[in-house]
Structure 1
Amino acid sequence: MLRLYRRATGARHLDIGPGTGYFLDRCGFTGPPPEITLLDLSQECLEMSAHRLARYRPRTCRANLLEPLPLPDGAFDSVAMSLVLHTVPGGWDAKGKSFAELARVLRPGGTLFGSTVLAEGVRMNALTRRLLVEQHRRGNFQNQGDGPDGLARALAAHFPFSRVVVRGNVALFRATA
């Protein structure tokens, strides 16, 4: 995942669900500092990641990924959403609608990239399956039915180029606007 950040993060970057800001903190930018916007539904998450990334003076945006985003068209060179989609309710049809908004805020040729935990269509050992069931029970994961083929179709509906690679039960993806 860190390799994706290092390869795909552009000069104007939107990070969706930044968590603690770990990936951007470890990215090791060369050249001028990027313009970073952090987007999350959780104000606490935004504050935590903005504090960690204070040296970049990130902007924050509190918004719901499943609603129209309060961001201008073509504003970003890159958009990341690492370990986010498996926490979003609904199947790929519902989650895929967010890709239309992300394609809108990317400049032509811009890159969407990220990762998500899959629940279907991947091999899992017994421990992984038990951990996944527990995350569903707690309501932390909303990825019932999420498989790599559905992700690939949802990306292809909104991006002219996309790629999904599965590692264990995690999908790494990249798409170009």
Structure 2
Amino acid sequence: MTVTGVHLDHLATAQQFAATPETWPVAPRFDPVQRWFHRLRIADDHEAWLLTWLPGQETEIHDHGGSAGAFHVYSGTLTEDTVSAGTFGTPKIISRELGEGAGRRFGSHHIHRIVNRSARPAISIHVYGPALTSMTKYRVGPAGLEVLTVERAGAQW
């Protein structure tokens, strides 16, 4: 993504939000039934989201519909399970734990799941560019990665 000829650093943008929680339009909330999220910003070339995670809450395996991005762990610990090509068509899942202050950039073809496997709540900030228009959710089945649903911005979130 470019902003007046400069490449937007999604992780730096997430870190800027993390450094200024007093500018967030809402305070983080925790919902025991489902993950809570709130969009912090929408711009021509990106959007930023605030998410909360109680222990055990997770996303499904998903992509970002062609958007690149990053996430930053504001508080707590999250685990990212990244899906990559394995041998003989079997996807390989690699887990990476990210603690408070850690972050991760990802490209436009990234497929992952984020889980709070810790015993305490977590808060994270996610930045995508361009803004999300769709997300495909997957499962790992006997034939490899299988599409479950394709969700559209404005319809499912």
Q: In which range does the TM-score fall when normalised by the shorter chain? A: under 0.3
Which of the pair is proportionally richer in helix?
1
**Higher relative contact order structure (alpha carbons within 8 Å, sequence separation ≥ 6):** 2
Q: TM-score, normalised by structure 2?
A: 0.25
Which of the pair is proportionally richer in strand?
2
Q: TM-score, normalised by structure 1?
A: 0.23
